[in-house]
Amino acid sequence: MSVRRLAKEQPASFAFSKDSQAKADWWKAKYPAERKQSAVIPMLWLAQKQEGWISEPAIQEIAKQLEMPVIRVLEVATFYVMFQLQPVGKVAFVQLCGTTPCQLRGALDLRKVLEDKIGPAHHVSADGKFSWEEVECLGACCNAPMAAINDYYYEDLTPESLAKILDDFAAGKAPKPGSYEGRGASEPKGAIHTLTDPKLYDGSYAKKIKIPNLPEKPKKAPKSEPAA
C-alpha cells in the first residue's frame, strides 16, 4: 500500500460533467438533507470515474456540494485505497494482484511485464495511455494470477497473455475480460475429480435435521397476569 498523499501537480479546476452531476444529485437525494455528507464516497467515486483520479479541486468541489469541511473529504479520499490520488493511464489502468496466491502462481513475472511495457508503478507511461499499481487481494484467487484492468478482471494470466492484452489496449481494441486459460469462471481446471458421486445430487443424502439455536416456540400465554 502506497503512502496516500495528494499528487504534486494538480489541475486548476474540476467540475462534474452533466451526467455525473445528475448521478451525484441522485446520491445526495438519497440521504436526509442534514446527512447529505453520507454521499461523500459515491461522489468521490463519480469524480474518479469521470477523471480517472481524484484531484484536489475535486475534493474542494465535493466538500462544497455536500457542505462539509474539506478536511473530512480529504480524510475519506486518503483512507480508501481504491481512490486514485494521482493521474492514471487514459486507456488502461492495471491493478495487479500481488497477494500470496497470485504471487505463488506467477504475479512476479506479470510485474516484470508491466515494468517493461509501462514503466515503474504509479507512473503514467510517456504516451499517457497506461499506468499500473500492485494491489492487495482482489478476491479472485481461484483464477490466479490476475489483474484488474479498468473495470474488469483479467484472470489466469501468463506473461504472454498479459503482454497481448496490453498490446490490444494500445491498438485501441477492447480485450475480453475473464479467464485467459479458457475457463468459464472459477471451475476446476480440466476434468472434475471430486464430488462426482451422483447420489450427492439425487436427494438421497438429505435428512431432516434439527437446526440449533432456533428461537423456541412461544408457549401458551398464562391465563392470569403475573403479579407485578
Partner 1 sequence: MAIAKVNGVEVEFEPGMTVLQVAELAGEEIPRFCYHERLSIAGNCRMCLVEVKPGPPKPQASCALPAAEGQEIFTKTPMVKKAREGVMEFLLINHPLDCPICDQGGECDLQDQAVGYGRDDSRYEENKRAVEEKSMGPLIKTVMTRCIQCTRCVRFITEVAGSPEIGLISRGEDVEITTYLGAAVTSELSANVIDLCPVGALTSKPYAFEARPWELKKTESVDVMDALGSSIRVDARSAAVLRVLPRINDEVNEEWISDKTRYAVDGLGRQRLDRPYVRVGGKLKPATWAEAFAAIAAKVKSTAPERVGVIAGDLQDAESLKATKDLFTALGVKNLDSRQDGSALGAGPREGWLFNSTIAGVENADVVLFVGANPRLEAPVLNARFRKQWIAGKTRFGVIGEQADLTFDYDYLGAGAKTLSGLAKSKNDFVAALKAAERPAIIIGQGALARADGAAILKAAAGLAKSMKVVREGWNGWNVLHTAAARVAGLDMGFVPAEGGLSTADMLKPGALDVLFLLGADECETAASDAFKIYLGTHGDNGAHKADVILPGAAYTEKNGLYVNMEGRVQMGRRAVFPKGEAKEDWSILRALSEVLGHKLPYDSLDQLRAKLFADHPTFGQIDYAPGSVATVFDVGALGVDGEVSDAPFESPVKAFHLTNPIARASVTMAECAAVASGAAKIAAE
Nearest-10 crossing angle of helices 40-51, 18-30:
170
Q: Which residue has cell 403475573?
A: 226
Answer positive or negative: Cα dihedral of 189, 194, 195, 197.
Answer: positive
Interface pick for partner 1 out of 71, 192, 209, 211 (rule CB under 8 A): 71
Of 13, 29, 67, 79, the one binding partner 1 by CB under 8 A: 79
Instruction: Give the shortest CB-219-to-partner 1 separation in angstroms.
Output: 28
CA distance 66 to 28: 8
Within 8 A by CB and 6+ apart from 139, the residues are: none
Q: Which position among 1, 12, 192, 221 is part of the footprint of partner 1 (CB under 8 A)?
A: 1
| Residue with Cβ nearer partner 1 (82 or 108) | 82
- The span from the CA of 47 to the CA of 85, in Å, is 11
130-135 vs 147-149, strand pairing mode: unpaired
Least Cβ distance, residue 15 to partner 1 (angstroms):
19
Q: Say whether residue 188 binds partner 1 (CB under 8 A).
A: no
Residue 199 in the binding site for partner 1 (CB under 8 A) = no
Q: Which of positions 81-110 make contact with partner 1 (CB under 8 A)?
A: 81
Q: Is 141 annotated among the ligand-binding residues?
A: yes
* Cα–Cα distance, 201 to 56 (Å, whole number): 57
Binding partner 1 (rule: CB under 8 A), the pick from 49, 64, 69, 108 is 69
Name the segment binding partner 1 (CB under 8 A); options: 35-43, 73-81, 99-107, 194-202: 73-81
